[in-house]
């Protein structure tokens, strides 16, 4: 398989991993700064993650064996690519297949997304986006010139001053393309109506449940990996191979963390992320919290932590939880049924006189 395809797949995989790790904080920030989460803005941020990984893998990887490094010369002649492009255009039959011309085109296209994303997500102007492209290109070229900052004795990739020009042009083109996005949908600034309560939809409830499950899994994974490394460092090879001790400790930690959050705030991690809370019912506050925890992320985590066939029961519990979101009022689901409470927007009651958001707010 072509190395570039492998690097592209590697970049996408790294982007997915980073997206999973950052998903819950991203949802929380989106609800607080933009009032909610839109598919369009999520797609743009995910594309930005993949793009950053792709630029890194394309310009630095694969790292060669230090003992097999072949030093390469640098190109310090500015605009040397002009002759290559002119030569390709004089041969119309091969203008689109000439390696030198294609390299120039790829160097431009590589930074078009950067300029676009700096303007749309960063809210910066054309000048800043263009200069940022120049800065990133200079960092990449210096990384190559210095052999990954002296990790290698010499440059194993060509430092080309013309890349600074073509990359910067690409960033400028991308920043100009960002003009197609309305100004009020650019940037990370706080939306004027970010604190306005929104209807409690089932999609929002499911998003909160997904954040709960993901947060619990990440805690489990992080604790499990750390404990496995500790056991390995202590020489407990049998325990590392078995994995049972680390898995049990990680499960208990994940359950404890989720429970502490619920008892301390009255809401789960997912509820906090999507600005939801339960209220009403005739039960004492502490008891209602415990019941909601047991009927929600707590019960799910415990079932998956138990040995044997309990995983199957856990999946049934998860399926029932999703079904009850659609079968209960406002998607309160099993936690709401167990505590007798209902879901509301944590930011306050909805003003019936407030007009709905404009359809174009999908970018927000």
Confidence class for position 98, pLDDT limits 50, 70, 90: low
Mean pLDDT, the chain, whole residue set? 83
Assigned token pair, 323:
């079904």
pLDDT of residue 243: 78
Amino acid 291: pLDDT: 94
pLDDT band at 359 (very low <50, low <70, confident <90, very high): very low
* CA terminus-to-terminus distance, the chain: 39
Supply the pTM of this predicted model.
0.75
> Model confidence over 112-128: pLDDT tens digits?
999 998 888 888 888 99
In the predicted structure, residue 97 carries a pLDDT above the cut 70: no
The sign of the CA dihedral 327, 331, 333, 337 is: negative
The reply to whether omega before 104 is within 30° of 0 (cis) is: no
């Amino acid at each position: 398989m072509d190395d570039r395809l492998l690097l592209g797949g590697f970049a996408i995989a790294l982007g997915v991993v980073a997206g999973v790790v950052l998903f819950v904080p991203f949802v929380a920030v989106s609800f607080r700064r933009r009032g909610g989460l839109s598919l369009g803005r999520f797609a743009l941020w995910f594309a930005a993650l993949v793009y950053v990984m792709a630029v890194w893998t394309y310009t630095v990887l694969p790292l060669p064996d230090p003992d097999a490094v072949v030093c390469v010369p640098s190109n310090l002649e500015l605009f040397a690519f002009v002759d290559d492009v002119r030569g390709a255009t004089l041969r119309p039959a091969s203008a689109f297949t000439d390696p030198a011309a294609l390299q120039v085109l790829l160097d431009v296209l590589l930074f078009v997304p950067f300029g676009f994303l700096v303007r749309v997500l960063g809210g910066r102007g054309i000048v800043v986006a263009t200069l940022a492209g120049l800065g990133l290109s200079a960092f990449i070229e210096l990384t190559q010139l210095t052999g990954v900052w002296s990790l290698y004795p010499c440059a194993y990739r060509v430092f080309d001053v013309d890349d600074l020009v073509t990359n910067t042009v690409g960033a400028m083109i991308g920043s100009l393309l960002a003009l197609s996005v309305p100004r009020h949908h650019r940037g990370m600034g706080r939306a004027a109506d970010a604190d306005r309560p929104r209807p409690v939809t089932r999609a929002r409830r499911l998003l909160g449940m997904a954040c709960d499950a993901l947060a619990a899994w990440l805690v489990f994974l992080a604790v499990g990996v750390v404990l496995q490394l500790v056991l390995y460092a202590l020489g407990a090879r049998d325990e590392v191979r078995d994995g049972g001790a680390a898995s049990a400790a990680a499960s208990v930690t994940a359950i404890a963390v989720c429970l502490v959050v619920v008892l301390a705030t009255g809401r789960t991690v997912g509820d906090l992320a999507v600005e939801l809370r339960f209220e009403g019912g005739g039960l004492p506050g502490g008891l209602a919290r415990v019941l909601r925890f047991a009927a929600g992320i707590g019960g799910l985590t415990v079932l998956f932590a138990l040995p044997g066939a309990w995983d199957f029961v856990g999946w049934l519990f998860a399926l029932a939880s999703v079904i009850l979101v659609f079968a209960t009022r406002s998607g309160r689901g099993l936690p709401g049924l167990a505590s007798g409470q209902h879901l509301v927007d944590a930011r306050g009651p909805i003003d019936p006189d407030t007009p709905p958001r404009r359809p174009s707010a999908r970018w927000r």
